[in-house]
Amino acid sequence: MTQQNNVLRIVEVFRSIQGESTFAGLPFAFVRLAGCDVGCDWCDTAYARDPSGGKERTVPQLLEEVDALGMTRVCITGGEPLMQAAMPHLAYCFTQKNYTVLVETSGAYDISLLPWPIIRIMDIKCPSSGASEKMDWYNLGHLRKQDELKIIVGDRADYEWARELIEKHRLNEKCTVLMGAAAGKLHPGELADWLLFDDLDVRMHIQMHKILWPDRDRNA
């Protein structure tokens, strides 16, 4: 997707409680970008996949709209936000206004485009997601202590695959690693038992927004 440097296609801008990452439970402004070509089987924001969806906004318009929400933290999500060329510039502009800035990405695109102090929340797609082949594995070399890895597992095979990946690349020494159970596919208690048995040094991840608003499509 190519765009002018300050124009993005936006599905929605809203305020909510952050449901994921170590920031879960904190109030955030959310900017959801349109477009995703990763195709995760358990995507919970399918309404944001269409790259022609939403409406065009300029960076100044988005800064003004988010400022009006009165928040100190902003999460840029999607879709896959790194599909849009202007997104790193938007994220940078938020840092210049002293926002804490998170960018949630699938890991399929180069995260090094997002410099400090932006916090990258990067997924690792397990095999049962149907999207493992879309991962850009060079991203593991771009991780910093402030970044976070999110691994959602759908079954025992996913868990074993993820555990081997964590140990092989010593991922929990690079940044915070979170592991969660795919909703409707694996009970979180079962995953917790596996983590305890293996003494795996990762943070158990529960999608708080799905507990707070179980009937809402919006992933926040």
Name the 3-class secondary structure at 31.
strand
Token readout for 63 is: 């800064």
End-to-end CA distance of the chain: 24
Mean pLDDT in consecutive groups of 10 residues from the start of the chain, 220 residues: 72 94 95 90 78 93 97 96 96 97 96 95 93 92 96 97 96 96 93 96 83 61
The model carries a pTM of 0.91
* Radius of gyration, alpha carbons of the chain: 17
- Identify the structural domains of the chain with CATH numbers, from first to last: 7-212 (3.20.20.70)
* Complete edge-to-edge strand list for the sheet that includes strand 119-125: 55-58, 7-17, 27-33, 73-77, 100-105, 119-125, 148-153, 176-181, 203-205
